[in-house]
Amino acid sequence: MTIRQFGENRRNPCSFRQYGLLAALVNAALILAAPAFVLPLQAGQGQTVLMIGDSLTAGLGLSRAQSIPVRLESALKKEGMDVRVINAGVSGDTTAGGRSRLGWALSEKPDALIIELGANDGLRGLDPKATLENLDAIINEAKQAGVRILLTGMRAPPNLGAEYGDEFNRVFPALAARHGVVLVPFFLEGVAAVPDLNQEDAIHPNPKGVDVIVRNLLPYVRRLLRSAD
């Protein structure tokens, strides 16, 4: 992410109540059911998680050890899980960029995929229909490869207006419902617009912000990795 509009609006964040309610309903329906395309991995067997995303995943402004994928892997290992998390983040990437390089990324043969894309689509005011189409293609390709999927949601910057924000924010829960994948309602929950948890650009999390994000992700990733049991 290289555009600063979100940071400029950090003192007046939107609540997105409708988005949050829809996402909650989607997750409530999905918690009890693992996707039909889950591979039959044995409990305790080493698993590989591919995290495809933008600069939030890549760890812009952070050391490698401070990045979300590394911290997430460490947290999972502390819980006794034999897991490797691959960082497939590219700074500035959009959903179109992620779609174009997914095939290459899947050559790592991951067991699970975390999709963290869409923030730059929103910052650039790209058509939400294109965002939905790209993410839909990413999910379909991953499903065809037999990969379990965790989709993380993003919210449009408030300065783009309520109409755009509502359409953009509906993309993620709609896709989760369509494909039966688990959704993290908002990837930056508890971190966005909190100065102490972000770098000077007010967009990218600092190490303390990374810790909050990882803590939020853990229940979802834990369920994702154990869904084959």
Q: For tokens 């067997």, what's the residue? A: 45
Q: CA of 119: how far to CAs of 13, 65, 74, 103, 226, in Å?
A: 15, 23, 25, 21, 28
Report residue 26: phi and psi, to 5°.
-60, -50
Q: Which of 136, 166, 201, 211 is catalytic?
A: 201
pLDDT in the model for residue 43: 39
Q: Which of 54, 55, 67, 111 is catalytic?
A: 55
Please check whether residue 93 is in contact with residue 54, taking contact to mean a CB–CB distance below 8 angstroms: yes
pTM: 0.81
Residue-by-residue DSSP string for 73-86: HHHHHHTT--EEEE
pLDDT in the model for residue 44: 42
**203: Cα within 13 Å, side-chain hemisphere:** 25
Q: Which uninterrupted H or E stretch holds 116?
A: strand 112-116
**36: Cα within 13 Å, side-chain hemisphere:** 5
| Residue 136 a catalytic site member | no
Q: Token pair for residue 125? A: 């005011």
CA distance 195 to 180: 35
| Residue 100 a catalytic site member | no
CA distance 196 to 211: 12
Backbone angle region of 92, left / alpha / beta, with phi > 0 → left and psi within -120 to 50 → alpha: left
| pLDDT tens for each residue of the chain, 229 residues long | 443 334 334 334 444 344 444 444 334 333 333 333 223 333 346 999 999 999 999 999 999 999 999 999 999 999 999 999 999 999 999 999 999 999 999 999 999 999 999 999 999 999 999 999 999 999 999 999 999 999 999 999 999 999 999 999 999 999 999 999 999 999 999 999 999 999 999 999 999 999 999 999 999 999 999 876 5
| Residue 179 a catalytic site member | no
Instruction: Kindly report the CATH number that applies to the domain delimited by 44-226.
Output: 3.40.50.1110
Q: Which of 67, 93, 179, 204 is catalytic?
A: 204
